[in-house]
Structure 1
Amino acid sequence: MTVRRFGVLAATGTGAVDGVPAARRARSIGGPVRDLRGRGPHGPQWLGFAEGDIVVVSGLPGGGKSTLIKRAAQDGGIDSQDVRERWERRMPRALPYAVYRPLVRCAHYWGLWRTLRSGASAVVHDCGTQSWVRSLLATAARRRGRGLHLLLLDTTPEEALSGQAARGRGVSAYAFARHRGAVARLLREAESGRLPAGCTSAVLLDRGAAACVTRIAFRQDPS
């Protein structure tokens, strides 16, 4: 197994040089933006970052963000979906989620803030529509001399809607449209070689590439 640097990001896989056959290596869109889409089973098995860095996972609802975080993040990551599920187990079944949604969000952001204050590495779920969240993460990373890295899941609306149906929970048409707009803007930036504000690297993943990633790790020396 070999390791290849993506700026401060390292990725490992199987196969030939740099972990994959030369014909299937990730192409650089520009600088620290890397495109791993279209690699299928030849994608990297783990992504490595410097200790203390922050990784934000963004994409459409139902696109596989929570699945990737739960499978690959060493400590399960920071996912608002986990907080929602904990509150749902405590609440009466007949009580609509909208009633206590503000409390769930407060609990989620409080947990996120505590992690950021501690200086620990973190993998964070990002819905994509709240740009202030990435600004907060970028500020926290910058103040401690660390990086903020974006993992952007590029899935089709059909794939995302299928994912929502599979988990038995969807979002409104209005909310889904907002998510599509936010993710489309992030993709346009990345595909033009520009990093989203505050990010030090970005990686584009489709469903096939994301399915290959079994570990997101933080090391003192990711090289």
Structure 2
Amino acid sequence: MTTARAVPTGAVPPTRDTEHRPTEHRRADTDGTGVPVRPGPPSDDGPAAPLVVVLPGRSLLLVAGLPGAGKSTLLAGLDAPAGTRVLDSKTTRAVLARLLPAATPYPAYRWLTHLTHRASVVTAALGPADTVVVHLPATAPRVRAAIRALARLGGRAPHLLWLDTAPDQALDGQHARGRVVRSRPFAAHARRARDTADALRAGTETGWSSVRRTDRSGARGGLALAK
């Protein structure tokens, strides 16, 4: 298992020569701030090593990135301390699908899924769990700002894990999961995600206790949280 602490914001941003350039077929070899991460075993020698993030104290980790970037893949095999609350919109949708008539199409209750998921995030952030993990695209700066404010309101340190994925790879991920975002909303997500990635590389995304970046290949081994 590869272990690397989340790197505090304010660290020297990577240069063009050292920044991690995500690709579908290459394991992430930095944490997105230019600090090397010791690679795990090669993919042909066994399963990919999980990405390990250390979250001391009362914390909220936002797992963000384009729809289809690999957030659900990252969280599917989550290894976390007992009592960790994980808020994944996919879980919310599954619960609502069981409660609604079987023939109800998802577009008819998409709004309810989003509303219920966000209400759950607020409840968990203000609740007693020591660690809260939130799954949201959060490509819009206002959404990330709201999550940071909510975390601090709940007495938590806000941490960001950004999945830096090209739009075409994210679309492939959407098709693979069988749920594709409409073209206009996805185009808006893609523009905002590009701006976010630029801000993270430049070190101008402020307000986080730590920031990590990875890509779809780095998400394949799952996520492990430690205190």
| Normalised-by-shorter TM-score class | 0.7 to 0.9
Task: Say whether 1:113 aligns with 2:117.
Answer: no
Structure 2 partner of 1:206: 215
Structure 2 partner of 1:83: 92
RMSD between aligned residues: 3.0
Structure 2 partner of 1:177: 187
Q: Which runs of 5+ in 2 are unaligned?
A: 10-27, 43-48
Aligned 1:82-161 pairs, distance under 5 A:
82-120=91-129, 121-143=131-153, 145-161=155-171
Contact 1:52 1:119 (C-alpha < 8 Å) held by counterparts: no
Aligned equivalents of 2:171, 2:56: Cα separation in 1: 34
C-alpha deviation, 1:123, in angstroms: 0.9
How many residue pairs get aligned? The number is 199
Task: Say whether 1:70 aligns with 2:80.
Answer: no
Q: Which runs of 5+ in 1 are unaligned?
A: 10-23
Judging changes above 3 Å, is the alpha-carbon distance between structure 1 residues 144 and 45 closer, same or farther for their aligned structure 2 residues? same
The TM-score, its normalising length taken from structure 2, stands at 0.74
C-alpha deviation, 1:46, in angstroms: 1.7
C-alpha deviation, 1:144, in angstroms: 5.0
Aligned equivalents of 1:117, 1:145: Cα separation in 2: 8
More helix by share: 1
Identity %: 33
Structure 2 partner of 1:55: 61
Structure 1 partner of 2:178: 168
The TM-score, its normalising length taken from structure 1, stands at 0.75
The aligned amino acid for 1:77 is V
The aligned amino acid for 1:138 is R
Contact 1:35 1:203 (C-alpha < 8 Å) held by counterparts: no
